[in-house]
């Protein structure tokens, strides 16, 4: 395993009390593999990634427990300087909003070249050449002319390519992409996802794709971890998850999206709202919204992540029944 | 949902046309100089858009950012004045109205905004927000009756009427969008223009709001102009769909015509790029990946606006702008293929990702 997150807990101290944003999350990624972490806002998918990268705002955030093994070493017990080196060279992150992740007063060439200057001690000329090469690699047209342009002179899709170039600069073993195409239009989204997928294959990188878009996931992921209220509720290879979801939340999500190729009557919405993390309901956190709820679901202990097959797990007491429901549509 | 019969470009024969846009144009001037302002050009945000909306019908408008779809929405509700063109509501051009006449028309055409976080005043209670339309149009509800009306509206959109005195920040995104919809419904409008009403919401909540909008349409016989960039949601809710690119409608027809038999290359590329939530379809899909970005609407290409990214473009496309009409080669074709498509080389190539 390239990266293994084990029982990770992250807490935030807020005015109203301590919030457990991530509550015992475990997942792993192999080299060359794409893991999609799927969840709605507040599910803890981004916070988990920030903790893995070690760029959690702390305070108020703090890793309260668990281990993060990267190439066999626990990142959480590493010294600051060692962690910083790993972060730059061997793992990188791509954020959703490229415009606010790039410095508006520096040229993109300078910002890309910074990777080489800081981590490799390159000269300015070498760094610039490296920047042009990177821009070429992510297929920005006329890279040599555009290297001295500022971020605002690029379109949204091009800026996201620059972010990808920056992440690739030191050829990391792992890339975490947090909603990399959410701010982009569909035709540009397709370009960027294709590029990311191709680069992952070329460099045999592990890719963690954090998203809420079930369509994007189906297109590129090998495996999926579904998060809800700071926990993983289902873990499965992509095809099996879409064909036979084993958790009512996953099933509800799949049924609530309209499909381009089929026009149904009413969408079957999941009733209610995701819980407030300050007041997560006892028992299964999904039980107030679950169509399959029984008494046992309302009481602690919470359902554990049941192993239900090869590489599959589900945190539902009634996973068998959920699986048994005939495939949707 | 009711299916519209009849021609693709026009609403079904059974439907009376309630709103019509004729050659709508909106240019925003680009100026230079501080003391002596002079116009150096114009952003052609909307550049000749025509369509009709039938009573009780939903017209979906899709397109990427910057295509002018939101400007069309603002023109329809008279938040912007068109540079040229007409908006015909019940046989009358409303685009030049002002004063009392404009106010009367506005009562019947309401808007629901995209962002439920910024479109509600944080310092007003929900009751005041939903009741504000009655202050502007006092004839819509007698004074003593307003509170009851607001409670009814909250109930209609599925919120607890007891929430009347709460503030917007006490609600989730989906609930706020319900408040926005309740405000839009307050004056019993005939037409609701919804600009990306569910884009800011989580998937599980999106479905709730879409279902609500469909229910309200049936209950009150509303006509919707539903603007969004999410093609799946637009298909789900719309009877007819118009595809916009660079300030123009490039293809328009029934949802069946646009999604199952698109003839404009842009529509085909757009549909092929939509990620389909079905991993089994991954290998079978044939995707058209467009090169480059949308040109600037301040300096659009000559002829066809899409030619700079189109794989079919030839000299003709740069010289002659293709009209939005049924392409001659399909004029005699039976079925839905014969719908308006602004392309010299329109071809049918079914693009639905998988079935």
Q: Are residues A320 and A247 in the same domain?
A: yes
Token couple for B86: 């007409």
The share of chain A scoring above pLDDT 70, in percent, equals 97
What are the E-state strand segments in chain A? 3-14, 17-29, 34-38, 61-70, 73-74, 91-94, 174-178, 206-211, 223-228, 231-237, 306-309, 312-314
Q: Are residues A59 and A153 in the same domain?
A: no
Q: Are residues A165 and A263 in the same domain?
A: no
Of all residues in chain A, the one with the smallest CA distance to B272 is A187
What's the pLDDT at A188?
A: 82
- How sure is the predictor about A265, in pLDDT bands with cuts at 50, 70 and 90? low
Token couple for B77: 């509700």
User: What residues does A262 pair with on adjacent strands?
Assistant: A259
Of all residues in chain A, the one with the smallest CA distance to B282 is A219
Q: How far apart are CA A235 and CA A255, in angstroms?
A: 18
> Cβ separation of B210 and A158 shorter than 8 Å?
no
Q: Are residues A111 and A28 in the same domain?
A: no
What's the pLDDT at B6?
A: 40
Q: Are residues A83 and A110 in the same domain?
A: no
- Top mean pLDDT of B155-164, B235-244, B274-283 is at B235-244
- Other CB atoms within 10 A of residue A106 CB: 13
With tokens 């308006």, the residue in question is B340
Is 60 exceeded by the pLDDT of residue A253?
Answer: yes
Q: How far apart are CA B282 and CA A203, in angstroms?
A: 22
| A95 falls within a domain | no
- How sure is the predictor about A221, in pLDDT bands with cuts at 50, 70 and 90? very high
- CB B71, CB B26: distance < 8 Å: yes
What's the pLDDT at A264?
A: 61
Closest residue to B269, CB basis, from A187, A243, A262: A187
Which pTM was predicted? 0.83
B282: which chain A residues are within 8 Å (Cβ-Cβ)?
218-219
> Cβ separation of B354 and A188 shorter than 8 Å?
no
The distance in angstroms from the start CA to the end CA of chain B is: 20
> Cβ separation of A273 and B273 shorter than 8 Å?
no
Q: How far apart are CA B214 and CA B233, in angstroms?
A: 12
- How sure is the predictor about B93, in pLDDT bands with cuts at 50, 70 and 90? very high
Q: Are residues A250 and A220 in the same domain?
A: yes
Give the mean model confidence (pLDDT) for residues B309-315: 90
> Cβ separation of A258 and B232 shorter than 8 Å?
yes
| CB pairs A-B closer than 8 Å | 134
- CB B4, CB B57: distance < 8 Å: yes
Distances (CA, A) of A2 to A31, A74, A178, A205, A322: 6, 12, 19, 9, 32
Q: Are residues A156 and A191 in the same domain?
A: no
Q: What is the CA radius of gyration of chain B?
A: 21
- How sure is the predictor about B335, in pLDDT bands with cuts at 50, 70 and 90? confident
The domain boundary, picked from A154, A169, A184, lies at A169
Q: Are residues A84 and A180 in the same domain?
A: yes
Q: Are residues A71 and A196 in the same domain?
A: yes
- How sure is the predictor about B181, in pLDDT bands with cuts at 50, 70 and 90? very high
Residues spanned by the domain of A53 = 3-90+174-324
- CB B271, CB A260: distance < 8 Å: yes
The string of pLDDT tens digits covering residues A46-60 is 999 999 998 888 788
Of all residues in chain B, the one with the smallest CA distance to A240 is B279
Closest C-alpha among A151, A56, A135, A53 to residue A102? A151
| A125 falls within a domain | yes
- How sure is the predictor about A262, in pLDDT bands with cuts at 50, 70 and 90? low
What's the pLDDT at B353?
A: 42
| A329 falls within a domain | no
| Average pLDDT of chain B, as a whole number | 87
Is 80 exceeded by the pLDDT of residue B355?
Answer: no
Closest residue to A40, CB basis, from B202, B269, B270: B202
State the smallest CA–CA distance between residue A89 and chain B in angstroms.
31
Closest C-alpha among B101, B71, B99, B80 to residue B89? B101
- How sure is the predictor about A225, in pLDDT bands with cuts at 50, 70 and 90? very high
State the smallest CA–CA distance between residue A205 and chain B in angstroms.
21
Is 80 exceeded by the pLDDT of residue B350?
Answer: no
Of all residues in chain A, the one with the smallest CA distance to B285 is A219
The string of pLDDT tens digits covering residues A137-177 is 888 888 888 999 999 888 888 888 899 999 888 889 999 99
Is 70 exceeded by the pLDDT of residue B13?
Answer: no
**Looking at this predicted complex, what is its ipTM?**
0.77
- How sure is the predictor about B11, in pLDDT bands with cuts at 50, 70 and 90? low
State the smallest CA–CA distance between residue A81 and chain B in angstroms.
38
Q: How far apart are CA B158 and CA B156, in angstroms?
A: 5
Token couple for B97: 């109205």
Give the mean model confidence (pLDDT) for residues B230-253: 93
B269: which chain A residues are within 8 Å (Cβ-Cβ)?
187
The string of pLDDT tens digits covering residues B24-57 is 999 998 888 777 888 888 889 999 999 999 999 9
The domain boundary, picked from A152, A169, A186, lies at A169
Is 70 exceeded by the pLDDT of residue A297?
Answer: yes
| A17 falls within a domain | yes
Give the mean model confidence (pLDDT) for residues A15-35: 91
Q: Are residues A183 and A240 in the same domain?
A: yes
The domain boundary, picked from A142, A169, A196, lies at A169
- How sure is the predictor about A290, in pLDDT bands with cuts at 50, 70 and 90? very high
Q: What is the dihedral of CA A271, A276, A282, A287, to 10 degrees?
A: 10
Q: Are residues A251 and A290 in the same domain?
A: yes
- How sure is the predictor about B75, in pLDDT bands with cuts at 50, 70 and 90? very high
B259: which chain A residues are within 8 Å (Cβ-Cβ)?
260-261
A188: which chain B residues are within 8 Å (Cβ-Cβ)?
64, 293
What's the pLDDT at B351?
A: 45
Q: Are residues A159 and A181 in the same domain?
A: no
The string of pLDDT tens digits covering residues A63-72 is 998 999 999 8
Q: In the sheet that A17-29 helps form, which strands lie side by side, from edge to edge?
A: A17-29, A3-14, A61-70, A73-74
| A96 falls within a domain | no
What's the pLDDT at B274?
A: 86
Q: How many domains does chain A have?
A: 2
Q: Residues of B26-58 as b/e, b for ≥16 C-beta within 10 angstroms?
A: bbbeeeeeeeeeeeeebbbbbbbbbbbbbbbbb
């Amino acid at each position: 395993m390239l990266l293994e997150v084990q029982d990770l807990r992250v807490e935030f101290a807020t005015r109203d009390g301590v919030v457990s944003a991530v509550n015992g999350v475990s997942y792993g990624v192999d080299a060359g593999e794409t893991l999609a972490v799927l969840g709605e806002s507040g599910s803890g998918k981004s916070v988990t990634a920030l903790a893995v990268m070690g760029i959690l705002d702390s305070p108020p955030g703090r890793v309260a427990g668990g281990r993060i093994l990267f190439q066999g070493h626990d990142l959480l017990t590493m010294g600051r300087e060692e962690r910083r080196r790993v972060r730059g060279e061997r793992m990188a992150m791509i954020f959703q909003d490229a415009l606010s992740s790039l410095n508006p007063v520096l040229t993109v060439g300078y910002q890309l070249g910074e990777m080489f200057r800081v981590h490799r001690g390159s000269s300015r000329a070498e760094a610039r050449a490296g920047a042009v090469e990177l821009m070429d690699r992510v297929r920005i047209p006329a890279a040599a002319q555009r290297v001295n342009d500022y971020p605002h002179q690029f379109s949204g899709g091009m800026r996201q390519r620059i972010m990808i170039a920056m992440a690739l600069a030191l050829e990391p073993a792992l890339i975490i992409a947090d909603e990399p195409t959410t701010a982009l239009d569909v035709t540009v989204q397709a370009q960027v996802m294709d590029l990311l997928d191709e680069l992952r294959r070329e460099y045999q990188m592990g890719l963690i794709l954090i998203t809420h878009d079930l369509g994007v996931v189906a297109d590129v992921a090998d495996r999926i971890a579904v998060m809800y209220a700071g926990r993983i509720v289902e873990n499965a290879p992509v095809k099996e998850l879409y064909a036979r979801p084993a958790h009512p939340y996953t099933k509800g999500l799949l049924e609530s999206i309209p499909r381009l190729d089929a026009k149904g009557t009413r969408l079957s919405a999941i009733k209610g709202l995701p819980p407030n993390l300050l007041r997560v309901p006892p028992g299964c956190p999904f039980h107030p919204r679950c169509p399959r709820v029984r008494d046992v679901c309302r009481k602690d202990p919470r359902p554990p992540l049941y192993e239900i097959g090869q590489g599959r797990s589900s945190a539902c007491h009634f996973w068998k029944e959920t699986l048994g429901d005939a495939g949707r549509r | 949902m009711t299916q519209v019969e009849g021609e693709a470009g026009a609403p079904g024969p059974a439907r009376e046309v309630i709103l019509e846009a004729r050659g709508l144009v909106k240019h925003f001037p680009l100026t230079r100089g501080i003391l002596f302002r002079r116009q150096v050009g114009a952003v052609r945000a909307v550049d000749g858009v025509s369509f009709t909306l039938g009573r009780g019908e939903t017209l979906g408008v899709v397109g990427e950012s910057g295509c002018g779809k939101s400007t069309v929405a603002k023109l329809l509700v008279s938040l912007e004045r068109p540079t040229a063109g007409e908006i015909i509501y019940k046989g009358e051009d409303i685009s030049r109205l002002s004063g009392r006449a404009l106010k009367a028309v506005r009562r019947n055409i309401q808007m629901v905004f995209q962002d439920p976080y910024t479109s509600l005043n944080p310092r007003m209670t929900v009751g005041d927000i939903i009741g504000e339309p009655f202050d502007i149009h006092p004839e819509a509800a007698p004074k003593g009756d307003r509170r009851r009306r607001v409670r009814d509206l909250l109930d209609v959109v599925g919120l607890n009427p007891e929430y009347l005195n709460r503030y917007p920040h006490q609600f989730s995104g989906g609930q706020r969008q319900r408040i926005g919809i309740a405000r839009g419904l307050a004056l019993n409008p005939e037409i609701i223009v919804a600009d990306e009403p569910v884009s800011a919401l989580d998937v599980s909540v999106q479905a709730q709001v879409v279902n609500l909008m469909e229910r309200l349409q049936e209950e009150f016989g509303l006509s919707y102009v539903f603007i969004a960039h999410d093609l799946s949601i637009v298909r789900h809710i719309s009877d007819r769909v118009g595809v916009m690119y660079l300030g123009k409608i490039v293809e328009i027809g029934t949802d069946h015509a646009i999604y199952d038999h698109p003839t404009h290359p842009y529509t085909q590329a757009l549909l092929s790029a939509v990620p389909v939530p079905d991993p089994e379809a991954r290998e079978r899909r044939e995707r058209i990946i467009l090169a480059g970005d949308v040109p600037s609407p301040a300096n659009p290409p000559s002829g066809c606006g899409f030619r700079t990214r189109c794989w079919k473009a030839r000299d003709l496309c740069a010289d002659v702008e293709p009209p939005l009409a049924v392409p001659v080669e399909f004029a005699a074709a039976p079925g839905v293929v014969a719908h308006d498509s602004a392309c010299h080389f329109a071809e049918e190539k079914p693009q639905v990702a998988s079935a």
